[in-house]
Amino acid sequence: MGDKPIALVTGAGWWPDYDPGIGLALAREMGERGHRVLVTDRELAPAQRSVEQLKSEGLDARAAVLDVTDKAQCKAVLDKLIAAEGRLDTLVNAAALTLARWGLKQFHDILPEQCDQEIEVTLKGALNVTRAALPAMYQRGAGSIIFISSVMGYEPSPQMSIYGLSKAALINFTMSLAAEAGPRGIRVNAICPGVIKTRVTNRMPPAHTEKFLRNSALHRVGEPAEIAKVAGFLVSEAASFVTGQAIRVDGGSMGIV
Ligand SMILES: NC(=O)c1ccc[n+]([C@@H]2O[C@H](COP(=O)([O-])OP(=O)(O)OC[C@H]3O[C@@H](n4cnc5c(N)ncnc54)[C@H](O)[C@@H]3O)[C@@H](O)[C@H]2O)c1
């Protein structure tokens, strides 16, 4: 087993023609905190693009395909990582289906298949990766898991109800898993971002964003790095007594309604 801590970040690819997402900022933060980072996404090319960027910044990163809905692939990627590195210190679950996929829709307009797919990726995907990661973390008796939830997991999420439902479930799961994993040396926390400048929010109808910002204390959109810095704190020794928490990083959002 090497001395270097190992992190895996899901949904961390950088897609062509888009601003980088929160996943790349999370991977960068883990790299800057001394991790070797496995950058994953559902396709290899975006993960590789993120890795090229991180390497150009002097960080230690490599890329892998990890479709979080594919349970066999989750196990295979985690098994391969543990075989190569001997450890997994940090898991950051950032993959999600966001409105980049099908935009804002009221519940009665969402097709049943779209509902299923949202839950499959945003909720069950995070469970699949975490399930595959836990044995190695339990064996070492150390590690930190972060779920990227959303302010929509706390607040009503009109026109994104199934996304909000999935993110809310992750908050509850964070508390349950923290209780189970704490005695085994693992801390589990969630981060609930507000409106963060990414390809997703770039596509949000301006009126929707404006309403969010009006109902917030800081009246501005956040930067991916402002989420990543909190993740960096959560995986650090400074957060050694912090677990089972869902931390809102949302500029003081008071919701959209
Ligand atoms: N941008 C925001 O304002 C905001 C607010 C709250 C929460 N979040 C959350 O932050 C995280 C990152 O969001 P983002 O804004 O960077 O959006 P994004 O769409 O750029 O990132 C999501 C990533 O997940 C990947 N993904 C989708 N399906 C996948 C699958 N089946 N397997 C693996 N990866 C898959 C996508 O390819 C993409 O790279 C998400 O969990 C999102 O829900 C974002």
Task: Report the pLDDT averaged over residues 217-225.
Answer: 97
- For residue 100, the model assigns a pLDDT of 58
The edge-to-edge listing of strands for the beta sheet with 186-193 is 61-65, 36-41, 6-9, 90-93, 143-148, 186-193, 246-249
Ligand 1: centre distance to CA 200 (Å)? 8
pLDDT given at position 1? 73
What is the three-state SS of the chain? CCCCCEEEECCCCCCCCCCCCHHHHHHHHHHHCCCEEEEEECCHHHHHHHHHHHHHCCCCEEEEECCCCCHHHHHHHHHHHHHHHCCCCEEEECCCCCHHHHCCCCHHHCCHHHHHHHHHHHHHHHHHHHHHHHHHHHHHCCEEEEEECCHHHCCCCCCCHHHHHHHHHHHHHHHHHHHHHHHHCEEEEEEEECCECCHHHHCCCHHHHHHHHHCECCCCCECHHHHHHHHHHHHCHHHCCCCCCEEEECCCECCCC
pLDDT of residue 101: 65
Residues with CB under 6 A from ligand 1: 10-11, 13, 21-23, 41-42, 66-69, 94-98, 100, 121, 125, 148, 150, 193, 195-196, 198-201
The residue-averaged pLDDT of 215-241 equals 97
CB 71 within 8 A of CB 120: no
pLDDT at residue 118, rounded to an integer? 96
- Overall average pLDDT of the 136-165 stretch: 96
Average pLDDT of every residue of the chain? 95
- At 98 the pLDDT is 81
The structure tokens listed for 11 are: 């949904």
- At 93-143, the pLDDT tens digits run 999 998 656 678 999 999 999 999 999 999 999 999 999 999 999 999 999
- Confidence category of residue 46, pLDDT binned at 50, 70, 90: very high
Taking CA atoms only, the protein residue closest to ligand 1 atom 13 is 22
- Write out pLDDT tens, residues 160-193: 999 999 999 999 999 999 999 999 999 999 999 9
- pLDDT (0 to 100) of residue 256: 77
Q: Is 154 a catalytic residue?
A: no
Q: Taking 70 as the threshold, does the pLDDT of residue 194 lie above it?
A: yes
- What's this model's pTM, rounded to 2 decimal places? 0.98
pLDDT tens track for 7-41: 999 999 999 988 999 999 999 999 999 999 999 99
Q: Which domains does the chain have, with CATH numbers?
A: 6-249 (3.40.50.720)
From the list 232, 137, 151, 246, the residue with the least C-alpha distance to 196 is: 151
